[in-house]
Chains A and B, each alone.
Chain A
Amino acid sequence: MKTRVEAPKAVPPQEAREDRALSSPDGALLGRIAAGDQQAFAVLYDRYAPAVLGVARRLLREREQQEEVLQETFLTVWRKAATYDGRRGRLSSWLLAIAHHKAIDLLRRERHGRPVPLQGEPRQADGRATGDGARDPDRAGPGDQGSDPTAQAAQGLEARSQIEQALALLTLEQRQVVWLAYFAGLTHREIAARYGIPLGTVKSRLRSAVERLRDVLQAEGAGGWDRV
């Protein structure tokens, strides 16, 4: 169903603004989006839609759901641009977090009352399974492009490699809970109940895992990513 979303303040798009928009940093774009500038919104969409759809595709099986997440994520950005708080993370982090949140919501709704499908497992650095099943975010679902099984396998392998490399920064215990939370969509309470881990331990592992990722980024000399 199509709903029309009113801009916070209608500003007619102008050709002259386009060039400026193309080179605008995210923060400047967002200010203009908050003022109802669709041209700026289009630039932001074209910049981040592939990453947003990438998140949706890894978490959701159905193409319709993936596209729903893409559309709803950007509608949320359009509606809430004026309330974005740069102190809560970069714009790209915010945008991807919205996408992840919406995908997780759909995932949780979909599996309501049913156990989490055990289609894959996080792996240790040497490739052995950790023994903790979770939805494999790298599997090719029916919504994936093409039907060539070799291509699908290669696609899964590529993505698995990238995810595993990010997760390889973590200890096995951290990797397990991050996988279950971020890719399988379990809440920290569900992880605790399902795997018999004390809730406090789950919380501390999730936190230390993210801290580890943060420390690696900062150790690279970034001093934290920029805020917009």
Chain B
Amino acid sequence: MTCSQVREMAGAYVLNALTRHDRQRVDHHLDRCARCRKEVGELADAAALLSFSLSPAEPPAAVRARLFGCLAGPAPAAPSAHPQAARPGRISRRELFRPGVLRVAVVAAALFALGLAGGAWLHGRSFEAGTRAQLALARAESELWRGLARRPSAMVRLEPAPSLRHAVALAAVEGLGDACSIRLVGAGLPAPHAGARYRVQLELTDDSSWEVGELTPTQTGLWALTARVPVPPHRIRVVRVDLEERAPSARGKPAVLLRGSLQRAGPQASGEPGRP
């Protein structure tokens, strides 16, 4: 099989639409051709987008046990799904932020955004812009989960200011006694201008605030931060991302770019848009 034949079949290959025989022929070529392998690899990543667009499902514990039963050697213990679920006094609404519920919230937000975009949809490109925002969300969610070892006790979606309509950020909070671990991933955020940075701040229930740190770019074009802060999760009211000048002389009031509330009643984990 030649390179041009492989390229012709590459779409069908990454979508699993080849017969077994055709697939083996393409595999045979890819084993030997670095250029085609690279090109097909990029297409495979793009095709995975279709799988990422599907709702994840909670795997039954029995499957996990069965799987590890098939492996040689002792099976590692399953991580506690809700390490703090039985403890009172933690985040009172943590159940509302379970990933499954978050998924519903995210999808509800997506449907809402879709509704908002409905008028402009007919004009074509606006719908695509809305879809890009959804893709940004899917990528942020994927990246967030990549960095999480277990289900966090709370998750929140940070809504963007109107000036950043394609941006989105997700934060996961895990309680660690009197402290917590926070992971935040932002997608669709442009690089800040020279001399500025994305700063993650917590607004606490006693109206004080805590600076978590700075978002740094990932190799995938996203922005992320993982940090531990000496604040128990139930004291966190809002997670937000500001754009702040680095130089003290240029520092005015930072612009609030993304904002999400952890203390909101109801199943929606999303916060209110900030106002720069």
B10 within 8 A of A: yes
**Chain A binder among B33-41, B199-207, B248-256:** B33-41
Closest beta carbon of chain A to B160's beta carbon, Å: 15
Assembled-state Cα–Cα distance A46/B80 (Å): 11
Q: Which residues of A contact B55 (CB under 8 A)?
A: 54, 155, 158-159, 162
Contact indicator per residue, chain A 13-30, by CB within 8 Å of chain B (1) or not (0):
100001001110110000
A153 within 8 A of B: no
What's the dominant secondary structure at chain B's contact region? helix
Assembled-state Cα–Cα distance A87/B104 (Å): 34
CB pair B70 A168 closer than 8 Å: no
Assembled-state Cα–Cα distance A169/B135 (Å): 11
Nearest A residue (CB) for B188: A220
Most chain A CB atoms below 10 A, which of B68, B76, B110:
B76
| Residues 180-208 (chain A) with a chain B CB within 8 angstroms | 181-182, 185-189, 191, 200, 202-208
Closest beta carbon of chain B to A107's beta carbon, Å: 10
Nearest A residue (CB) for B151: A46
A131 within 8 A of B: no
CB pair A165 B130 closer than 8 Å: yes
Is the interface on chain A under 10, 10 to 19, 20 to 34, or 35 or more residues?
35 or more
**A126-B122 contact given A38-B71, A165-B130, CB 8 Å threshold:** yes
B88 within 8 A of A: no
A58 within 8 A of B: yes
Most chain A CB atoms below 10 A, which of B16, B111, B219:
B16
Instruction: Spell out A's residues near B (CB within 8 Å).
Output: 2-7, 10, 12-13, 18, 21-23, 25-26, 36, 38-39, 41-43, 45-47, 49-58, 66-67, 70-71, 74-75, 78, 85-90, 92-94, 96-97, 99-101, 104, 125-126, 137, 145, 155, 157-159, 161-163, 165-166, 168-169, 178, 181-182, 185-189, 191, 200, 202-211, 213-214, 216-217, 220-227
